[in-house]
Homo-oligomer: A and B are copies of this chain.
Amino acid sequence: MTQPPEPRTPAGRWSYFGPAGTFTEQALRTLPEAASVEAVPCTTVTVALDEVRAGESDAAVVPIENSVEGSVPVTLDELATGEPLMIRREMTVPVAFSLLTRPGHRLEDVRVVGTHPHAEAQTRGWVARHLPGATVVHATSTAAAAAALADPDATPLWDAAISAPLAAERYGLEALATGIGDNAEAVTRFVLVTRPGRPSPPTGRDKTSLVLFMRENHPGALLEILDQLATRGVDLTRIESRPTGHALGDYCFSVDAEGHIEDRRLGEALMGLRRICADVRFLGSYERHDGKAATIRPGTTDEEFNRATAWLARLRDGA
């Protein structure tokens, strides 16, 4: 364990779930290192991740969870069962939607609105109030909805797009309305992933992501998992069941735990999970977006673990 930990963010070429102008690009831009990397939009989350796996990119930024819509299944599933990757950072971006049109359009002219289904879900109230007669059709992303409007050679299926504010400037569109999300607090969480390696160094404000596959799908399995964590004083910040794809009712659990893999309590909990699970995939330890320090229960500091280890060694030695 003498090699130095890897830096949290690699240089070079970064893929992201595009096109340009999505919230994902906004998330990428929140990292200071983003200024010096080549940022490459990809058509899908899978493509962005595959470029990293293939060594064509050094990192990828993809959305993983939205405070209104829930997790992004494709990202969870790619990280859980695709060729392994490691999360290095997480970032959040407030989800603010704008209604964009080609310049010169008026609100009363809007008949068809194009957007991503998640964006539709989060602006449903505004659309019902301000565009009661409009039809909403689905684009592959909010930026794609904007891009289609901007393409001078195409006849888009819609005459307005619900997109991230960034899309207006990217595609030369006009915002007829901004802040049209039904939930002003909505945020999306994004992750920066690389190929697996030595985890980022602990910051004291870390989170660890795991995927847990049960040995057999018995009713008490989830209680046993939670117990392995709780007994070592490790709190979860997120737990989600995901189908393994084998059969209805056959789940794995995607979880985020407080703390870093270098923490003694998390290390012991991980080993406990490894022993009772069919498989445990470690997705990385990384600084939390909100900078909150982990809750540390009495008896679970590294120092207390170290003292207990020394005590046990003395007992075994008869010292």
Contacts and interface: CB of A to CB of B under 8 A. Distances in A.
Given A299-B275, A311-B271, A241 B238 contact: yes
Interface centre among A70, A186, A248, A262 (most CB of B within 10 A): A248
A183 B250 CA distance: 14
The A interface is mostly helix, strand or loop, or mixed, namely: mixed
A31 interface: no
A176 interface: no
A318 B67 contact: no
Interface in A294-313: 295, 298-300, 304-305, 307-309, 311-313
Contacts of A246: 67, 185
A68 B243 CA distance: 6
A315 to B, nearest CB: 5
A1 to B, nearest CB: 5
A237 interface: yes
A236 interface: yes
A291 to B, nearest CB: 13
How many subunits of this chain does the assembly comprise?
4
8 contacts: A3-B317, A186-B245, A187-B248, A196-B318, A241-B241, A270-B315, A274-B307, A274-B312
Interface of A: 1, 3, 6, 65-70, 73-74, 92, 121, 137-140, 157, 183, 185-187, 189, 196-199, 215, 219-220, 222-223, 226-228, 230-232, 235-243, 245-251, 261-262, 267-268, 270-272, 274-276, 282, 295, 298-300, 304-305, 307-309, 311-313, 315-318
